[in-house]
Structure 1
Amino acid sequence: MSDSLPTASAEELRHRGWITLSVMLGSVMQSLDTTIANVALPRIQGTLSATQEQMGWVLTSYIVGVAIMTPLSGWLTGPVGRKKVFVSSVALFTIASAMCGLAHSLTELVIYRAIQGVAGAGLVPLSLAILLDLYPRDQHGKATAMWAMGVTLGPILGPALGGWLTETHSWRWVFLINIPFGVLAFLIASRFLHETPLRRTPFDFFGFAMLSVAIGSLQLMLDRGQLLDWFSSTEIVIEGAIALVAFYLFIVHILTAREPFMSPGLFKDRNFALGSIFIFLIGIVLLATLALLPPLLEGLFDYPVVTIGLVTAPRGLGTFAAMFIVGRVINKIDARVLVTFGLLTTSLSLWLMTGFSPQMDDSLVIWSGVIQGFGLGFTWVPLTTIAFGTLLPSQRNEATAIFNLLRNIGSSIGVAMVTALLTRNVQFMHARLVEHVTPYDLATRTHPVFDASTLYGLQAIDGVVTHQATLIAYINDFKLLLIMTLAVTPLVLLLRKAQSSGPVAVHAD
């Protein structure tokens, strides 16, 4: 069978549009739920009478569930079948979403969110594998653009949609909104998607257990580290040690086992290995920036929650425009050139963000977001095309699971990293700025508000210093993300050019 041909059945190809809609709905639901609940947490906390630390488990349970089950989704397609795994995941995710919206206690909500994460883990990687099988190689850029659009628009639109639903209706609609889309995706996939051939492969329980323990411990450490002051907490030290030991055992096991849970041979493919590094970085930049902007705009610039959603949502327009363009030029321009352009455009947006100040208007926030969305779109699509362009179709299910696992881990590390650095830089910059404030400064001696001889004046001075220190800390985070993006750009030179495609053809299995 020519690799330029789609590997789907003739009937699936006739209903390709419906199947594409189904897997896109699954991807959007899963990616949307990574951020949509964040803005609703204060309302949920008040309704369920929970503490801030307890509310952290609403997010942590979902993230840990996704992280642990993502690599397993690729293996399950062998003995169970890809259609059964995908359809069951959509059904369970939809049911869990309904239960989250109906939860009456924090314990119920955390349990249902964990089930949501477990069920949704396979939606994104399996949707990519299905699309790559539905389209011939010369249309993989188009297929990847559609997939990436759903995966990236979810986290971008999540805060805006979550804020609107919470303000105008109830926090419960943040979860209930998944139901109609989940039902539609389930019905379409059940009707038109065909089952893949089954492969009876032994289950590597030890490998899966070690990887699950490593990922679960790492996610717990990253999500709770900032709350518990990182390695000054015994819990964080224990979680970090468990993650390190489990990951070491997992690496040793997959390199020595006869049939390991995850095939290390995938990383012998240079494009896939380098693509995994890039997608890890994209995960850091995408969600780290989204994690920084809302508290910056609300805390320092006094933006209402709804306004924050409105000024950050246009980032999705940039992503949409980029993927619309890339899907049409990827077969005409070397994908490595497109990746380089995307990384440099993303760097430009981060450079613009280092110029944020209280004197700016909304336009800088909007345009920097649009440019970043445009750059990420130009990076993600050709990068995914290159990463999977040299793999065999039989490797796609496992490869897409690994690819998305690394993106999720990158996102978690990125958010934890910029949040921790933000807290520490605020303290450091506050101490540095205070060194230059003395009772002998002209402002502190003559200004009626900043009179250092009065308690009110000292409080006013401290407020201004804290505000400036916090803004500098945010800008330093943006500078770090800028440096990381520029530093990884030369790695594009190591990528091999994607294989050329043969003629488009349709065939029956």
Structure 2
Amino acid sequence: MASAAPAAGTPMLPVEHRGILTIGVMGAMVMQILDTTIANVALPHMQTSLGATVDTVTWVLTSYIVATAIALPATGWLSDRIGSRNLFLVSVGVFVIASMLCGVANSLPLMVAFRIVQGVAAAFINPLSQTAMLDINPPERAAKAMSVWGMGVMVGPIMGPVIGGFLTENYNWRWVFYVNVPVGLLTLAILWWQLPSRPRARRTFDYLGFIYVGLAVAAFQLMLDRGQTEDWFSSWEIVAEGLIAIAALWMAVIHLATARKPLFDRELFRNRNLVMGMLFMVVIGISTMAPMALLPPMLQQLFGYPVIDTGMMMAPRGVGVLATMWIAGQLMGKVDTRIVIVVGLILFAGSLRMMAGYSLEMDYWPVVTAGFIQGLGMGFVFMPLNALAFATLDNRYRTDGASILNLMRSIGQSAGISMVTVMLARNIQTSHADLGAHVTDQTLPAADLLARVPALGQTAAAFADAMVNREAAMIAYVDDFYLMAWISIAVVPLVFLLRKPKGKLEVVHSE
């Protein structure tokens, strides 16, 4: 039977100090989100300390992402089995302990093992935090709750490189992990004090479905994360991972469609808003993470900015997100939420078009301006989309729905980063060949003179090649920004496939 809808003004799980609990829930979620990007800037320092190579040190990132993706589908079952409160507390506690162990790790195998534990704990924090924010707020405040939650999701990855760069430069790369300990302990204390639990439910676990989904996600994530370093499908490893991902996905779809008690209730996939939300989460993952993956190396390698300055130049994106998420929260129920999402997508595409106009002669202002506008667009898209995805979903399915949406966003992020990285590498080669073809004796008036002085000629040739490389890289970055702008525009018509809730936007329940 469907769960009864709470009366207006009454949350599903009333709490005494909702504001304090919100701080605790958001602290746990932001801590987990930060760890997806905070370690990126510290990788060169880790490589030296852990005795790793350029290729193997990336497992510090890959192990965390893959472990999170595999564990995510089990969130709903575990929440029903042991209670949402117990699962949340255990997840935060294990995350803090794993963070401390990552900080003391003295070898790459130990670091990877601790990151896997950290990733598994992180998998449950995100959907549980989203569910908790909906549960402790009355239906009419659901949109604003998603606004607050969304701010953490979008600002966390932006602030990760800034905080990571500061800690690495001024202290030690180990503080990238140690910083989680005081934050995590404070968060754990608040959650222990105030967090209520959803009702438990007797629910069998679909082991076969979990294995199929986990295998498909793990193989796909490994293929994306390792593809560039292994030269994609010229490597048997990548071919094997691709085939395993396809086969496991096919078996997962058939099993979930025919099993008597599947891993995810089939009712979830009959909800049009949730299904469309899954599609948009993939697009959001691609569009939001790809620019954040491209900008740091572009600013540091082509323009010569240090890590701290790079982080500060990306910070205005977070300011834009905070501004429009607050505005979007105020607009909910007053204007068609789908129009707000469309405006956000157009702003986002416009910012990417501005980024496609970057040149090697510009200063930092175009980066700051485009980043701020991009943040405005992200705020108008992410929070309203989350609110619409849950607006017509029965509250029994909130945890499963949240875990699916987070899984789709994670897959989109990995796919987006891999896609733009591949395009960048290939477009650099193509542009280098095109530009290099124009460097001839006719285009260099002093080529004759340089040819007579071999040492001078070699220096000039190396300088010319470096200039061509730099220009080719800039062209490749611009091409990536163009692609993401078109992806953002292409999905605009799909927004109107989302069902508009009747009356004021709130979480409604099936009869």
The alignment's TM-score, normalised by the length of structure 1, stands at 0.95
- Distance of 2:495 and 2:505 partners within structure 1: 25
- Per-residue CA deviation, residues 118-160 of structure 1 (Å, 9 max, x unaligned), is 0010111111111111112221111001111111111000001
8 Å Cα contact 2:158/2:318 also seen in 1: yes
Contact 1:389 1:499 in 2 (8 A): no
- Once residues 82 and 366 of structure 1 are traced to their aligned partners in structure 2, the CA distance between those partners, rounded to angstroms, is 41
* 2:467 alignment partner, one of 440, 464, 469: 464
Query: Aligned equivalents of 1:332 and 1:397: distance in 2?
Result: 28
Aligned residue for 1:455?
458
1:138 alignment counterpart: 140
SS in 2 for 1:258: coil
Shift of 1:501: 4.2
The reply to whether residue 333 of structure 1 matches residue 335 of structure 2 is: yes
**Pairwise CA distance, 1:484:** 0.4
1:313 CA displacement: 1.3
Q: How far, CA to CA, are the matches of 2:478 and 2:506 in structure 1?
A: 49
Which amino acid in 2 is paired with 1:500?
A: G
Kindly provide the amino acid, as one letter, of the partner of residue 466 in structure 1: N
Q: After superposition, what is the alpha-carbon deviation per residue over 1:202-247, rounded to whole angstroms, capped at 9, x for unaligned?
A: 1110000011111111111111110100111111111111111001
Which whole-Å CA distance do the structure 1 matches of 2:196 and 2:375 have between them? 34
Q: Is the 8 A contact 1:24 1:127 kept in 2?
A: yes
Call closer, same or farther: CA 1:377–1:259 in 2, change over 3 Å. same
The 1:247–1:438 alpha-carbon spacing in structure 2 relative to 1, beyond 3 Å, is same
Q: Work out the CA distance in 1 between the residues paired with 2:461 and 2:361.
A: 24
State how 1:82-231 maps to structure 2 within 5 Å.
82-231=84-233
CA distance in 1, matches of 2:100, 2:360: 41
The 1-side partners of 2:240 and 2:488 are apart by 32
2:345 paired residue among 343, 346, 368: 343
Moved more, 437-446 or 303-312: 437-446
1-side partners of 2:382 and 2:506: how far apart?
Answer: 25
Structure 2, unaligned runs of 5 or more: none
1:67-109 per-residue CA deviation (whole Å, 9 max, x = no partner) reads 0111111221111111111111000001100111111111111
Partner Cα distance (1:400, 1:356) in 2 = 37
- Whether the aligned pair in 1 keeps the contact of 2:432 and 2:469 (CA below 8 Å) is yes
Partners of 1:364 and 1:101 in 2: CA distance: 37
> Aligned equivalents of 2:121 and 2:13: distance in 1?
26
Relative to 1, partners in 2 of residues 1:151 and 1:271: Cα closer, same or farther, differing over 3 Å? same
Give the corresponding residue for 1:507: none
- State which of 485, 493, 499 in structure 2 corresponds to 1:490: 493
Query: What are the Cα deviations for residues 444-471 of structure 1, in whole angstroms up to 9, with x where unaligned?
Result: 548979x999222221221111111111
Residue type of the alignment partner of 2:441: P
Report the alpha carbon displacement of residue 500 of structure 1 after superposing the two structures with TM. 2.7
Map residues 4-43 of structure 1 onto 2, 5 A cutoff: 5=8, 6-10=10-14, 12=15, 14-43=16-45
Map of 1:246-285 to 2, 5 A cutoff? 246-285=248-287
Deviates more, 1:417-426 or 1:267-276: 267-276
The equivalent residue for 2:433 is: 431
Note the C-alpha offset of 1:43. 0.7
CA RMSD of aligned residues (A): 1.9
Paired amino acid for 1:220: L
Matched-pair contact (CA < 8 Å) for 1:390–1:499: no
Say if 2:232 and 2:238, in contact at 8 Å, map to a contact too. yes
Query: Among residues 71, 76, 79, which one is paired with 2:78 in the alignment?
Result: 76
> C-alpha distance in 1, partners of 2:505/2:472?
57
Distance 1:259 1:187 in 2: 37
2:491 is paired with a residue whose SS is helix
Shift of 1:112: 0.6
Contact 2:141 2:506 in 1 (8 A): no
Selected match of 2:307 from 297, 302, 305: 305
Q: What CA distance in whole angstroms lies between the structure 2 residues aligned with 1:495 and 1:57?
A: 38
Whether the aligned pair in 2 keeps the contact of 1:4 and 1:138 (CA below 8 Å) is no
- Contact conserved, 2:222 with 2:241, CA < 8 A, in 1? yes
Aligned to 2:81, the other structure's residue is in SS state coil
Q: Pick the aligned partner of 1:389 from 375, 388, 391.
A: 391
**C-alpha contact (below 8 Å) 1:163/1:305 kept by paired residues:** yes
Deviations 1:250-296 (A, max 9, x none): 00000000110022321221111111111111111111110000000
Alpha carbons 1:4, 1:502 under 8 Å: kept: no
* CA 104–267 in structure 1, closer or farther in 2 if over 3 Å, else same: same
Letter in 2 for 1:494: L
Q: 2:46 corresponds to which residue?
A: 44
Instruction: Give the Å deviation of 1:4.
Output: 5.6
Give the Cα separation in 1 of the matches to 2:488 and 2:402: 23
Deviations along 1:293-331, one digit per CA (max 9) or x if unpaired, are 000011111111111011111111111111121121212
Deviation, 1:3, is 4.9
Amino acid in structure 2 at the alignment position of 1:306: I
Paired with 1:211 and 1:274, the residues of 2 have a C-alpha distance of 20
- Which string of whole-angstrom CA distances, capped at 9 and with x for unpartnered residues, describes residues 40-91 of structure 1? 0011111112111110110011001110111111221111111111111000
Aligned to 1:244, the other structure's residue is in SS state helix
Q: Which AA in structure 2 matches 1:490? A: P
Distance 1:290 1:4 in 2: 42
The CA distance in 2 between the partners of 1:503 and 1:346, in whole Å, is 26
- The corresponding residue for 2:363 is 361
| SS, match of residue 250 in structure 1 | helix
Letter in 2 for 1:369: G
For the structure 1 residues 23 and 335, does the alpha-carbon distance in structure 2 shift closer, same or farther, using more than 3 Å as the test?
A: same
Tell me how far apart the structure 1 counterparts of residues 245 and 272 of structure 2 sit (CA, whole Å).
27
Q: Secondary structure at the match of 1:97?
A: helix
Percent identical residues: 45
Q: Is the 8 A contact 2:83 2:198 kept in 1?
A: yes
The corresponding residue for 1:400 is 402
Q: TM-score, normalised by structure 2?
A: 0.95
Shift of 1:503: 10
Report the CA distance between 1:431 and its aligned residue. Answer: 1.1
Gaps of 5+ in 1: 505-509
Partner secondary structure for residue 135 of structure 1: coil
Paired residue secondary structure (1:313): helix
Does the 8 Å contact 1:438/1:444 carry over to 2?
A: no
Cα displacement string for residues 409-454 of structure 1 (whole angstroms, at most 9, x for unaligned residues): 00000001100110011111111112222112244548979x9992
